[in-house]
Structure 1
Amino acid sequence: MKKNILILGAGLVAGPHIEYLLSKKDLKVTVASRTVQKAKDLTKGAENSAAISLDVNDIVALNNLIKTADLVVSLLPYVHHVTVANICIEHKKHMVTTSYVSEEMRKLDEKAKNAGILILNEIGLDPGIDHMSAMKIIHEIQSKGGKVTSFQSSCGGLPSPEANTNPFGYKFSWSPHGVVLAGRNNAQHLKDGKVIKINGEDLFDNFWIKHVDSLGDFEVYPNRDSLSYIETYGLKGISTMFRGTFRNIGWCNTWKKIAMLGLLDNEKKYDFEHLTYSSFLKKLINGQEDDIRRAVAGYLKLDYNSEILNRIEWLGLFKNIKPSLKQGSALDILVSVLYEHMQYQPGESDMVVLQHEFECEYDNKKEKILSTLIDFGIPNGASSMSRTVGLPSAIAANMILHGDIKLNGVHIPVLPEIYQPILAELSKSGIKFEERRN
């Protein structure tokens, strides 16, 4: 009898995920989406599929769907995961998500164990492939009696070099909200035994340049809380622990200035009926000059010909035309112009860059290990981001259903019984790391 996988959500990472599961003919794949057409487009009428409409806030309908599944994959926004998890526990169904484990999710560990189910989270790219590829090397070092003294890891989803055609060096596959809000996160990491804490407003002051072979130079800035991973990765006593984000050159200084303009504020709401982009910007900075570029240059203490001003102007924020939005916050205006100007065009591809740097000590020697994943999207096909997020979760779901991963409780993929088979399967899809040791 076929096992039934229920996939909640049909967003931008769902394509490769669903395609992989549909290739397993012993599975029945049910895709539930608010917009049923999205689910139909992704299942393509496959014999072992079903596409249905679901409002995730309809708890009765959600409950009935989960009850008939053998495993549930939640590709919904993270705010829905705990609701789904509680229903999965009630009906003793395994669950997979690509999102970070929230405190509420962590608290369900005991209940999940008692129900005899696995709730596997953080099984995408970042988080996901980053954990698995790091743990593979960490466990290998430790099994040889070595100790990791420094671990630095950075990841970024960027346009491929051919598609890198705008002054920001960035394009969005989906709503820019998440990327923009991530620029307001506090961060902390460990450097040479010292804890470095960074407030959200100072995040973009704390970047440096890093070279990646075959691609060139990138900016790297801290990604949230790196310290929590010392325990997660079993690296007690480590002196340097850093997780960062890759962006193209110019990103950090530009976003620092965008924040100074007040464009990241999501609290104050405006009526844009009688405002243009330039008059709104002037309002934000209390500008008196007619020349909006000169007013912004003065406010930000930038040269009139600054590259940063070129980027802001390229977004259309100096134009004397009305925004398409009628009401909203400064952040809403920013998000709308970002999405309008920075989407991938047909035939363009993205890329994912993930790099780990390890320093380790053995009794008689020291070693450095550089492990790098560079993956490109398929022009007019699946993006690298959708493959690297969607495939690990699909592989995990299939393996759980077939009894290849036998765990209960709330987990992330840091155990060998999870990461070894998944990394092996990913390499068959061309998602694999190059290692250099010295």
Structure 2
Amino acid sequence: MKILLLGVGMQGKATLQDLANSPEVSQIIAADANFDDLRKYVNQLGNAKITPLKLDVRDRSALSIQMKKVDAVIVLLPQGFRMDILNLAIENGIHFIETSYALPEYAHVGQLAEAKGITILPECGLDPGIDLVLAGQAIRDLDEVHELHAYGTGVPEPAAADNPINYKVSWTFAGVLSAYQRPAKMLKNGKIINLTPSEMFSPENMHKITIDTLGEMEAYYNGDAVKYLDILGITDTTISTGRYSLRWLGHAAFWKKMVDLGFLKEEPILVNGQEISPREFVHDLIEPQIHYAPNERDVAGIRIDVRGLKDGKCKRIIYQMIDRRDLETGLLAMQRTVGYTASIGAQMVLRGDIKQRGLLSPTRDIPVEKFIAELKKRNIKITREEINC
């Protein structure tokens, strides 16, 4: 297996380490615009299979030269680069794997990719990723689905939640703030409900949940849950669904005030004659203060809770994953569960575990037992519980 990795930031470091540890991977071209940090990390790994490369992905000719050397590309870059890279991957006949939500434009090239024998595997990280694989399996475990609730979290362990907001950053803080300004969409008692960012953090739209080994957390709606009903084929029977983020108690109350006061608006305002974006100000002020110390651990988690009928009886299926930072490697749980999953997805495609071509979805196209086994090899464990409801 020969793989091109584009983007070796926080999650990319875990992907690179995992690819380097795989005996099935013979060559890795690790490319990033920040070459000094990349070279330092590659030297730290000390693996001869890795070729570090300074690359501007906007240079199509230079990128195409590297694509011709490999079987697949893993893309861990911002959204603005992804469509051009996908088109170039198809042009060069290599598989495309990423951890972000599929762009609407991907649908237009899915048939072309399938005709050329190419797999497009987006949403192959944690959330989206592991959550979608488990949701798809939970639904297949039942004869008829009535409720689907998906929870995701990335927080400091209680001992490390030692700042005023009880939160530290395990992925891009700019992405966190952007998500806090994103409306939510859910289904409750058969009615579609759209929530503004302020409503998303309102107490009446939240609930608390107790997670094994973690304790009590608060859940608020995050993103569009309704679109997955069609993808999963359960639109006709489902009466309630939601996608939620889990945080320590008090998190939502703080950020509701920030949203209501306009601190997360992107549009600049005049301050002493200078145009300043409130969100950028909040980011630049807070972000340096919420990093993990080397001896502190984060927690990443997924919980899928599905209710419906099985053999005519009401059943509840719960899949759960909780992971913590590996202090030996230094990799955060968020890095492991996102970065390792991207590596697993690419290797499953190239190994032939994933045989489908064209535009795929983790909800149906990733073999669940093999996927869970691969996570377990990396000490990321999934539990399953089935109870009467």
TM-score (norm 2): 0.93
Between the aligned partners of 2:312 and 2:115, the Cα distance in structure 1 is 46
1:430 maps to 2:372: no
Question: What pairs up with 1:33-432 in 2 under 5 angstroms?
Answer: 33-44=32-43, 45-141=46-142, 146-205=143-202, 206-236=205-235, 237-270=237-270, 328-379=276-327, 381-415=330-364, 417-432=366-381
Q: Deviations over 1:231-269 (max 9, x none)?
A: 112223111111111111111111111122221122124
How far has the Cα of 1:412 moved from its partner? 1.9
Q: Choose which of 16, 20, 29 in structure 2 pairs with 1:18.
A: 16
* Structure 1 ranges of 4+ moved more than 3 A: 269-273, 416-420
Question: CA 1:23–1:363 in 2, change beyond 3 Å: closer, same or farther?
Answer: closer
- Please, which runs of 5 or more residues in structure 1 have no aligned partner? 274-325
**Count of residues in correspondence between the two structures:** 380
Q: CA deviation at 1:327?
A: 6.2
Q: How far apart in 2 are the matches of 1:345 and 1:328? A: 30
Q: Post-superposition shift, 1:52?
A: 0.6
State the Cα distance separating 1:403 from its structure 2 match: 2.2
Quote the Cα distance in structure 2 between the aligned partners of 1:389 and 1:177.
17
| Alignment partners' CA distance in 2, 1:256 and 1:407 | 43
> Alpha-carbon deviation of 1:174?
4.2
C-alpha distance after superposition, 1:285-337 (max 9, x if no partner): xxxxxxxxxxxxxxxxxxxxxxxxxxxxxxxxxxxxxxxxx863111111012
Structure 1 residues 46 and 177 mapped into 2: Cα distance closer, same or farther (>3 Å)?
same
**C-alpha displacement at 1:160, in angstroms?**
1.2
**For the Cα contact (< 8 Å) 2:111–2:358, is it kept in 1?**
yes
User: Relative to structure 1, is the Cα distance of residues 160 and 68 closer, same or farther in structure 2, using a 3 angstrom cutoff?
Assistant: same
| Structure 2 counterpart of 1:7 | 5
Partner letter of residue 137 of structure 2? Answer: K
Distance 1:399 1:258 in 2: 43
CA RMSD of aligned residues (A): 1.8
Alignment check: 8 A CA contact 2:154 2:170 kept: no
Kept after mapping to 1: 8 A contact 2:356/2:365: no
Aligned-residue offset at 1:416: 5.2
Matched letter for residue 3 of structure 2: I
Please say if residues 198 and 260 of structure 2, whose CA atoms lie closer than 8 Å, have aligned partners that are also in contact. no
Question: Contact conserved, 1:73 with 1:95, CA < 8 A, in 2?
Answer: yes
Kindly state the Cα deviation for residue 164 of structure 1 after the two structures are TM-superposed. 1.2
1:136 and 1:416 in contact (8 A); partners too: no
What per-residue deviation string (whole Å, max 9, x for no partner) do you get for residues 329-349 of structure 1? 111111012112211122111
Question: 1:151–1:48: structure 2 CA closer, same or farther, 3 Å change rule?
Answer: same
Distance 1:233 1:183, change over 3 A: same
Deviation at 1:24, TM superposition (A): 2.5
Distance 2:319 2:272 in 1: 49
Residues of 2 paired with 1:371 and 1:176: CA distance? 28
Structure 2 unmatched ranges of 5 or more? none
Instruction: Give CA-to-partner distance per residue, 1:71-109, whole Å, 9 cap, x none.
Output: 111111122111111001111111100010011122211
Distance in 2 (alpha carbons) for counterparts of 1:358 and 1:214: 21
Inter-partner Cα distance in structure 2 for 1:175 and 1:392:
18
Per the TM alignment, residue 271 of structure 1 is displaced from its structure 2 partner at its CA by 5.2
* Higher mean C-alpha displacement, 371-380 vs 383-392: 371-380
CA distance in 1, matches of 2:310, 2:186: 24
State the shift of 1:192 in Å.
1.8
Whole-angstrom CA distance in 1 between matches of 2:272 and 2:321: 44
The answer (yes or no) to whether the contact 1:191–1:240 under 8 Å persists in 2 is yes
Q: 2:171–2:334: 8 Å Cα contact kept in structure 1?
A: no
Residue aligned with 2:149, SS: strand
Larger radius of gyration: 1
Are the counterparts in 2 of residues 413 and 419 from structure 1 also a CA contact under 8 Å? no
Deviation at residue 112 of structure 1 after TM alignment: 0.9
Q: Does the Cα contact within 8 Å between 1:373 and 1:433 map onto a contact in 2?
A: yes
Question: Is the Cα–Cα contact under 8 Å of residues 268 and 275 in structure 2 kept in the other structure?
Answer: no
Shift of 1:363: 4.2
